[in-house]
Structure 1
Amino acid sequence: MRPDYRGGNRGSAALYRTRITHLRRAPVHHYFEHRSYSWFVDVDALPRLPRWLRPFAVFDARDHLWPAADDTLRGRVDAYLAGKGIDLGGGTVTALMHARVLGHVFNPLTLYWCHDVHGVLQCVIAEVHNLSGDRHAYLLPPADDHAVMVDKRFRASAFSGTDGHYLVRAPQPDDTLDVTISLHREHQPAFVATMRGTRRAAGIRQILALQVTAPLAPLMNVLSMRVQAALLWLRRVPLVPDRAGDRRVTTAASTPRHQLSTRRECPVGPIMARDRQETRSP
């Protein structure tokens, strides 16, 4: 039986072989890049792989957002949007994410493009995870190929607090993926992260090839972030104290729709174990 790779409002589910870069200009100049891959799917038609291939791509709603009455990935998306006063009326939601590989998953950034029943993009959800297992989601207005500004509200790194804002450019991918996020603080140069890639068919041969070119991708992503954290620490980049104000609780209803010029947090930046967040949403 051929696997069912349905998904996305642009055809079948797809894979993007990605190149991710981080550029920090202060207090030291630090650049690194690594390669990984992401899935682009329709959350109502997640890929169904043959049993023997499933260890390399499992999609579990528990890895995203927060529990909902309909505890599927689509149910969780709809519940989050309902808390913001948004009803897509059954429209399509496409997402860029990592799958579980051999039981492991790490989604530093998941993007959801939310369309109404007429196919019009209504908003984008940007969900951020840190290495302590905490997650936060931000609602972004539709902006086509333009950047939107979003306040930093989630402490994703031991080397930064929640001050500053991001400029986020996240157009829905087609033949190419091109996402840019830059952090801006007063009197400091921007910190820039990019994720770029080329679309590939999500066929059996491609999935198997990625297990060779990017083996254990979730674990490798975690390892890369921890190595960079260690390098920054060795270069005496100061750790930012974890303040009580950084642990405020957020809720799905905390940002009404009329404030859709919201701000969003960057997925980049390693996190130390002691930086465990209390950021939660129902």
Structure 2
Amino acid sequence: MIAHARTTPLRHSFRHRTYLWYVDVDRLPVLPRPVRPLARFDARDHFTGGAASIRAGLDAFLAARGIDLGGGRVMMLAHARVFGFVFNPLSVYWCHDRSGALVCVVAEVHNTYGQRHCYVLRTDDPGGAEAEKESEKKSGKEFGKESGKEFEVDKDFYVSPFFPVEGRYRMRLPLPGDRLRLAVHLDNEEGRAFTAVVRGRRRPATVRALLSSAVRRPWSTAAVWVGIRRHGVHLLLRGLPVHPRPRSSPQEGKLS
């Protein structure tokens, strides 16, 4: 389940049910040929889009920031391509070193204009706060306290046309277990402006489970994209002003 809550300058919230993949980037699923259109992972959908693999794209991006995982394990949470189409508002990579220690989390944000931007969240960053700190403001119990380390990072990428490129993200992205519980908050001068929550239950990636999910959520990736556009139109009709999209410069090691 994905839930969004906007609190300023207009209040608006929605929930959307979908399914995501939690995979080892070095051992991506290889599905039987008849069901491959329902789930395909493609390197062009992440980072510069020009690397030989998702892992290669991630390693190049981290290397540009002085981070070497030494071949350590990387787990990714993302949508796969469904019938050739994918849209990932957020892809998350939990990056470990060779000893198994978590070095960083990479949050890759995609907007509906075909651009991507990554935030590197270091586990040794002294600016990060522990998640035991209660959020100063909540938008209902759906957006309450989550477990795991809380990271803070300045917003520097245009996502929603209804928010300027300013403010600060507070992200709780704990490594998934049997349950998935992620939260991203955007704070600006007016306080808590936006919250997104992703929650789910882990299931084995069997062909039967995939077919069941595909039947219940047909063409899930297109549904996510259409849903975002539909809610954008709703906010426009309510008179919410649009902030012009600035010219963006590519991040080193990836293309925005």
Scaled by the length of structure 1, the TM-score of the pair is 0.80
1:47 has 2:29 as partner: yes
Give the aligned partner of residue 136 of structure 1. 117
CA displacement at 1:72 relative to structure 2: 1.1
User: Equivalences for 1:241-252 in 2 at 5 Å?
Assistant: 241-244=244-247, 247-252=248-253
Aligned residue type for 2:98: V
Q: How big is the shift at 1:67?
A: 4.7
Q: Write out per-residue CA displacement over residues 61-91 of structure 1, whole angstroms, 9 at most, x where no aligned residue.
A: 11111156x6111111111111111111111
CA distance in 2, matches of 1:160, 1:211: 33
> What are the ranges of 5 or more consecutive residues in structure 2 without an aligned counterpart?
129-146
Residue in 2 aligned with 1:104? 85
C-alpha deviation, 1:160, in angstroms: 1.1
RMSD over aligned CA atoms reads 1.5
What is the Cα deviation at residue 188 of structure 1? Answer: 3.7
SS in 1 for 2:33: coil
Q: Find the counterpart in structure 1 of residue 221 from structure 2.
A: 218
Matching of residue 179 in structure 1 with residue 182 in structure 2: yes
Distance (Å, rounded) in 1 between the aligned partners of 2:165 and 2:74: 29
Preserved contact between residue 178 and residue 202 of structure 2 (Cα < 8 Å): yes
The alignment status of 1:59 with 2:41, answered yes or no, reads yes
The 1-side partners of 2:245 and 2:61 are apart by: 27
The AA in structure 2 aligned to 1:108 is P
5 Å-filtered alignment, 1:18-167, equals 19-67=1-49, 71-142=52-123, 145-167=148-170
Q: How many residues align?
A: 234
Q: 1:230-249 maps to which residues of 2 (within 5 A)?
A: 230-244=233-247, 247-249=248-250
Q: Distance in 2 between matches of 1:25 and 1:58?
A: 36
Secondary structure, aligned partner of 2:76: strand
| Structure 2 Cα separation of the partners of residues 101 and 82 of structure 1 | 31
CA contact 2:158–2:246 (8 Å) conserved in 1: no
Contact 2:185 2:192 in 1 (8 A): no
AA aligned to 1:106 is F
- More relative contact order, 1 or 2 (CA 8 Å, 6+ apart): 1
Q: Is the 8 A contact 2:151 2:172 kept in 1?
A: yes
Query: C-alpha separation between the residues in 2 aligned to 1:239 and 1:94?
Result: 36
Equivalent position SS for 1:137: strand
Task: Note the residue ranges of structure 1 that are not aligned, 5 or more in a row.
Answer: 1-18, 253-278
